[in-house]
Structure 1
Amino acid sequence: MSATYSRITGTGSFLPPRRVSNQDLVDQLAARGLESSDDWIVERTGIRARHFVDDGINSSDLALAACRHALEAAGRRADEVDLIIVATSTPDMVFPSTAAILQHKLGVAGCPAFDVQAVCSGFVYGLTVADAMIRAGNARCALVVGAEVFSRLLDFNDRTTCVLFGDGAGAVVLEASDTPGILATDLHADGRHAGILCVPGTVQNGQVLGDPLLKMDGQAVFKLAVGVLEQAARTVLEKAGRQDSDLDWLIPHQANIRIMTGTAKKLRLPLDKLIVTVDEHGNTSAASIPLALDHAVRSGRVQRGDTVMLEGVGGGFTWGAVLLDY
């Protein structure tokens, strides 16, 4: 009996229409008595703009649009999907899961649907879970989605964090295959570092306890990120029996251009093989990797047969990588 593998057959993404430039945020900060500039933001992050949702738009709405594009690209109908995984830190509500809400909006029912919460590493986690379920014979056609409305977690009195994040969604259709697509995965977490990137609030007795806005120690995140991303990348290459030179593309979590280029250099990968969307999307957390993948596929950069490294790092502290032949 031949082995079952999983392969990405379609990608999709969606950004809310409202584009917010650095200057838009600089003006907003100035009205609060806070100083910043477009040059300051670009130099430290590589970000020039991001997209924010309007009132009444939730993660499931962004996910729905991304999934429709991915299904169309894969030539699949929603009723052919037998697994839905949504990676998000900004769910529509406490429960049910955003995946269950998305399932209903897709007009289907019956298949398992659940959320994965690993913050910016969430899509890598979700893709790994879907790959394992397909290999085990528990699914044959999965939707794996990253969807976020991070604009609702931002403290616009904190110029160091409010300029970093944006909203959006990205999705892939992952299907059972006789030939390998996903070659290797590697996931990690270290809860000792939970405090360096968090939203330390919760709901209790009808009230929000703690602080419901994002907090980040940027220097601590940076120091941890570069090291663990290189480690995860080398682990999946070793698991797959591949070398640095076999990589055609690196698609990292789009958090900060310095972290991204630092990882590429450690892997001896030319920077023209680094997929960058952070300049126009900002950090969209779990959505950033599938957004960047879809952008690279639709622009013709990533082609069938290319070897691609996906990797992410996020609050938790979580990190991981996926190596795949597209």
Structure 2
Amino acid sequence: MSEIIPVISATGLYTPPEIVTNEELVESFNTYVERFNQRHAAEIEAGEVAALAPSSVEFIEKASGIKARHVMSKAPLLDPEIMAPRWAERPDEELSVLAEMGVKAARDALERAGRDAADVDAVLCACSNMQRPYPAMAIEIQHALGIEGFGFDMNVACSSATFGIQTAADFIRAGHARSVLVVSPEICTGHNNMRNRDSHFIFGDVATAVLVEAKDIAPAQHWDILGTRLKTVFSNNIRNNFGFLNCATPETIGTPDKLFVQEGRKVFKEVVPMVAAMIVDHAETLGLDPAALRRLWLHQANQGMNRLIAQRVLGHEANEDESPTVLDTYGNTSSAGSIIAFHLNSQDLAAGDTGVICSFGAGYSAGSVFVRKAA
């Protein structure tokens, strides 16, 4: 029996139409800060409450490299009295918001591959921010697309998409499927604490899709998957304690841990060397020279992290061509970030060019997918 080789046939992207600039975000945040300090002036004067400090565009861009982000719900996000996404709850019979985003990204990938939804065997919804625990978002997306077969959700935070790609590739190698959609819809603004100066600017919303298929049915323009690798190391330095065993909301006083929290400096110090070493070792295991990689499509979390990881892998400071950035216009989109970078910055590569899609985040978790453009 001949070996079944998995490839990436196409990727898809859904970008929300609304954009929040740093200027708009800072204006909203600083209005909230001013109102908070006024409301608690007496407690602040007495030393019982700490005064909040304002944010600035310069601070945000220096700390992250982010200049704007796409969002699903702009007006309430910028309302100083709300500062969270809001929309009317949909009835159970209507397609959910997260599934709607996923379907749009999936259809884009299918169209690019010249594939009909009926040809797909499975859907994996791999993302950080599930809208509900069940029914699985993947099954709802599968149903909306008219796909037979199976689907399930998986969450490995920012590494979900690369973990999903390896899972899809393993299904294909084992003969359990020949065409698998890995869909990553992310409404990251829903789990971000927009009242925290250190992180109010980090996240944006988006959805991506990756169509992983057996090589013998893939379109001529595809990417061979040379190898995948996954790694997890437990850490509390990035955490979100929200769940159905507690009912905290962004408005609940004293529960910031029910939203995204992180020890940013610790994350930087610990994740950068872990990810760089993982990519280098994985490349060498595959018989590749990491310094000769044509392109690195890295998780879009922080420009400083990406700059240092790329430098350690390539042996020199990477330019925009070698390690493209979408962070400046999309923000951190969790699992979707490295896929956006690949989707928007891969068409120019020539047959035989080799690169790596790499994600990393809470867990800690990290995943690398080495790919080569087919001749």
Q: TM-score range by the shorter chain?
A: over 0.9
Aligned with residue 192 of structure 2, among 154, 167, 170: 154
Q: TM-score, normalised by structure 2?
A: 0.81
Equivalence for 1:276: 325
Aligned letter for 1:187? L
Equivalence for 1:184: 227
Equivalence for 2:27: 27
Contact 2:284 2:290 in 1 (8 A): no
1:46 equivalent to 2:40? Answer no
Provide the rounded CA distance (Å) in 1 between the counterparts of 2:348 and 2:111: 19
How many aligned positions are there? Answer: 320
String of CA shifts for 1:203-223, please: whole Å, max 9, x gaps. 138x34964311111111111
String of CA shifts for 1:81-135, please: whole Å, max 9, x gaps. 0011111121121212111111112122x31211111100111100011111111
TM-fit CA distance, 1:301? 3.0
- Structure 2 counterpart SS, 1:310: strand
70 and 124 in structure 1: CA distance in 2 versus 1, 3 angstrom threshold: same
1:221 equivalent to 2:267? Answer yes
Aligned with residue 266 of structure 1, among 305, 312, 326: 312
CA radius of gyration, larger in: 2
Provide the rounded CA distance (Å) in 1 between the counterparts of 2:157 and 2:8: 22
Provide the rounded CA distance (Å) in 2 between the counterparts of 1:70 and 1:98: 18
1:236 equivalent to 2:255? Answer no
Relative contact order (alpha carbons < 8 A, sep ≥ 6): 1 or 2 greater? 1
- Structure 1 counterpart SS, 2:278: helix
Equivalence for 1:3: 3
1:1-326 mapped onto 2 (5 Å cutoff): 1-33=1-33, 34-54=53-73, 55=87, 58-108=97-147, 110-177=148-215, 181-191=224-234, 193=235, 195-204=236-245, 207-208=247-248, 211-268=257-314, 270-271=318-319, 272-297=321-346, 300-326=347-373
For structure 2, list consecutive stretches of 5 or more residues without a partner in the other structure: 34-52, 74-86, 89-95, 250-254
302 and 147 in structure 1: CA distance in 2 versus 1, 3 angstrom threshold: farther
Which stretches of structure 1, 4 residues or longer, exceed 6 Å deviation after superposition?
none
35 and 92 in structure 1: CA distance in 2 versus 1, 3 angstrom threshold: same
- Across the aligned residues of Structure 1 and Structure 2, the Cα RMSD in angstroms comes to 1.8
Provide the rounded CA distance (Å) in 2 between the counterparts of 1:204 and 1:40: 36
Structure 1 or 2: more strand by fraction:
1
Provide the rounded CA distance (Å) in 1 between the counterparts of 2:14 and 2:224: 24
- Structure 1 counterpart SS, 2:243: strand
Provide the rounded CA distance (Å) in 2 between the counterparts of 1:112 and 1:238: 35
Contact 1:169 1:290 in 2 (8 A): no
Provide the rounded CA distance (Å) in 2 between the counterparts of 1:181 and 1:164: 33
For structure 1, list consecutive stretches of 5 or more residues without a partner in the other structure: none
